[in-house]
Structure 1
Amino acid sequence: MLLEIRNLHVTYGNVKALHGIDLTVEQGEIVTILGANGAGKSTTLMSISGLVKAAQGTISYKDKELTTLRAHNIVKQGISQVPEGRRIFGTLTVQENLNLGAFTLTDKEKIAKNQEWIFSLFPRLHERRQQLAGTLSGGEQQMLAIARALMGSPELLLLDEPSLGLAPILVKSIFATIREINKSGVTILLVEQNARAALKLADRGYVLEVGRIVLEGKAQDLLENREISKAYLGGAG
């Protein structure tokens, strides 16, 4: 098991965001977490990457407990997060953003190899590498956010709403690239409002409602589930 979450509780002040969730991710999988706004999806990802602290429960990655580690040390374990809303550094160039993504690596050859691979995934970023990141289009900024996370050679990539605010044609392109990244050997945990696209991409899925997992299963089974279809896919069945 690559990632195993057991009985995870997260609290913001007096508000309970997660009520004892259990979740697993196997090496090589794409797993998606679905749910309405405020269900606890982003909180789950931020707990894994150490940006919010667990009140209770365990998060183990390759049998190593993460809840005691600080965020930068979790990145060193091989976990990178692409945050919701991209959060690129707008006043830095594309190249400078990518350089920051490689902060945990010391092997220059490895960094160069990663960058070469990233530019093959996102040729547009290669063209724009000396451009200020803040002047990129929304789609290009999303590409940069993913590319920056990949610069650290993660084994597990946490993606938070990669299609948010993008035109349908760009969403298709981003999802095709996510599949390519996965085929290269990177395991992916994906939070996504576009439930249909996420389930078509994923191997398995979890449905979160108000901080609790209410359904889990193979992505295909969830796609065919009438309740899921009604609640998240805009259909009756």
Structure 2
Amino acid sequence: MLLTVKDLYVNYGNVEALHGINLEVEDGEIVTILGANGAGKSTTLMTISGLVPPVKGGIFLRDLEISRLQAHEVVSHGIAQVPEGRRVFSTLTVQENLDLGAFTISDKDLTKKTLRWIFTLFPRLEERKEQLAGTLSGGEQQMLAIARGLMANPKILLLDEPSLGLAPILVKSIFETIRQINESGVTVLLVEQNARAALKLAHRGYVMEVGRIVLEDRADKLLKNPEVRKAYLGG
């Protein structure tokens, strides 16, 4: 198993945000986490990536326990997060944003190879590499946020709401790119409000409610599940 989360508890101040989460992601999978706002999806990703410390429980990358590591150490072990809301460095160029994504990589040849691959995935970023990131469209900023995550050469990419605020045609394009990224060998853990698109893309899914996982199954089965359809797919 590539990623294992065992009995994970997380607090924000005195409030318990996650109540004993268990989930697994196999090498090569796309796994999605569904749930309403406030269910704990983003908290789960931020805890895996070392941005929020757990109160108890374990997070394992293969056999390595990573739940007590700093965020930059988690990245160096092969986990990169693309945060909700893109969060590109708006006063830096596209190229400078990408360079920052590779800060844990000492192999310059690998960085060049990764950059070439990213420009085949996102040709528009190559066209705009000298442009300030803050002047890009929302869709281009989302491409840049994903590309910056990929520059770390991750084993697993954590994506938090990649379709948020994008026009439907761009959503389709972003999801197709996520499929290509996965087919190239990057495992993906995806948090996404667009449940239908996420389940069509993913191999498996988990449903979260108020800090707990209440359902897990193959994505095709979740698409047909009456409760999931009613709650997340509009009937």
Please indicate, yes or no, whether the TM-score normalized by the shorter chain is above 0.5. Answer: yes
Paired letter, 2:87? R
How much has 1:130 moved relative to structure 2?
A: 0.3
| CA distance in 1: counterparts of 2:124 and 2:78, whole angstroms | 26
Mapping for residues 121-132 of structure 1, pairs under 5 Å: 121-132=121-132
Matched residue SS, 1:143: helix
Mapping for residues 31-46 of structure 1, pairs under 5 Å: 31-46=31-46
Any gaps of 5 or more consecutive residues in structure 2?
Answer: none
Provide runs of 4+ in structure 1 moved above 3 Å: none
| CA distance in 2: counterparts of 1:106 and 1:67, whole angstroms | 24
| CA distance in 1: counterparts of 2:167 and 2:126, whole angstroms | 22
| CA distance in 2: counterparts of 1:167 and 1:212, whole angstroms | 31
Matched residue SS, 2:234: coil
Residue of structure 2 in register with 1:154 after alignment: 154
Residue of structure 2 in register with 1:174 after alignment: 174
1:198 equivalent in alignment to 2:192: no
| CA distance in 2: counterparts of 1:12 and 1:146, whole angstroms | 27
Any gaps of 5 or more consecutive residues in structure 1?
Answer: none
| CA distance in 2: counterparts of 1:188 and 1:116, whole angstroms | 21
Mapping for residues 1-237 of structure 1, pairs under 5 Å: 1-235=1-235
| CA distance in 1: counterparts of 2:162 and 2:204, whole angstroms | 18
Equivalent residues, number: 235
TM-score by length of 2: 1.00
Paired letter, 2:112? A
Aligned-residue Cα RMSD (Å) equals 0.4
| CA distance in 2: counterparts of 1:55 and 1:217, whole angstroms | 27
| CA distance in 1: counterparts of 2:112 and 2:6, whole angstroms | 38
| CA distance in 2: counterparts of 1:40 and 1:201, whole angstroms | 21
| CA distance in 2: counterparts of 1:67 and 1:197, whole angstroms | 30
Paired letter, 2:54? A
Paired letter, 2:137? S
How much has 1:14 moved relative to structure 2?
A: 1.0
| CA distance in 1: counterparts of 2:108 and 2:6, whole angstroms | 37
Paired letter, 1:117? W
TM-score by length of 1: 0.99
Matched residue SS, 2:181: helix
How much has 1:157 moved relative to structure 2?
A: 0.2
